[in-house]
């Protein structure tokens, strides 16, 4: 019944297709981003909260750590 009702909307057939494309694109972009993301950035960010009280000897000055 709902299908009949929805069919009365003009161009409704595009609706699920657009939804699907947005959905797939979102994850594609996310995956590409994670593959390409810089390792230094990841390392620096994961140590960011630990600054000062860090016992691992990692000193974080706000600059990216050199390898």
Partner 1 sequence: MELEKFSYDNKIVRNFALATIIWGFVGMLVGVLIATQLFHPQLNFNIPFLTFGRIRPLHTNAVIFAFVGNAIFMGIYHSMQRVLKARMFSDLLSNIHFWGWQLIIVAAAITLPLGLTSSKEYAELEWPIDIAITLVWVVFGINMIGTIIKRREKHMYVAVWFYIATWVTVALLHIVNSLAIPVTLFKSYSIYAGVQDALVQWWYGHNAVAFFLTTPFLGLMYYYLPKAANRPVYSYRLSIIHFWTLIFIYIWAGPHHLLYSALPDWAQSLGTVFSIMLIAPSWGGMINGLLTLRGAWDRVRQDPILKFMVVAITAYGMATFEGPMLSLKNVNAFAHFTDWIISHVHIGALGWNGFLTAGILYWLVPRLFKTELYSKKMANVHFWIGTLGIVFYASSMYWSGIVQSLMWKQFTDIGVLQYPNFLETVLQIIPMYIIRAFGGTLYLIGFVLMMYNLIKTMKQGSFEANEETEAPAMLKEVKDKKYSHRWLEAKPIQFLVVAFIAVAIGGIVEFLPTFLVKSNIPTIASVQPYTPLELEGRDIYIREGCNNCHSQLVRPFRSETERYGEYSKAGEYVYDHPFLWGSKRTGPDLHRQGGKYPNLWQYLHMEDPKSMSPGSIMPAYPWLITDQLDITNTAAKIRALQKIGVPYPEGYNQFAVDDLIKQAEEIALDLQNNGAPAEADKEIIALIAYLQRLGTDIKADKIASDK
Long-range contacts of 62-65 (CB under 8 A, 24+ apart): 64/40, 65/40
Given 12, 21, 28, 59, the residue binding partner 1 (CB under 8 A): 12
Per CB under 8 A, 57 contacts partner 1: no
Q: How far apart are CA 64 and CA 47, in angstroms?
A: 11
Which candidate, 32, 35, 38, 37, places its Cα nearest to that of 67?
38
Per CB under 8 A, 24 contacts partner 1: no
Per CB under 8 A, 17 contacts partner 1: no
Give residues in contact with partner 1 (CB under 8 A).
1-2, 5-6, 8-9, 12, 15, 19, 22, 26-27, 30, 33-34, 36-38, 41-50, 53-56, 61-62
């Amino acid at each position: 019944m709902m299908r009949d009702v929805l069919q009365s909307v003009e161009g409704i057939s595009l609706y699920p297709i657009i939804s699907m494309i947005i959905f797939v694109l979102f994850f594609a972009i996310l995956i590409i981003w994670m593959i390409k993301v810089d390792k230094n950035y990841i390392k620096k960010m994961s140590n960011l909260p630990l600054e000062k009280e860090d016992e691992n000897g990692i000193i974080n000055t706000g600059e990216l750590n050199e390898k």
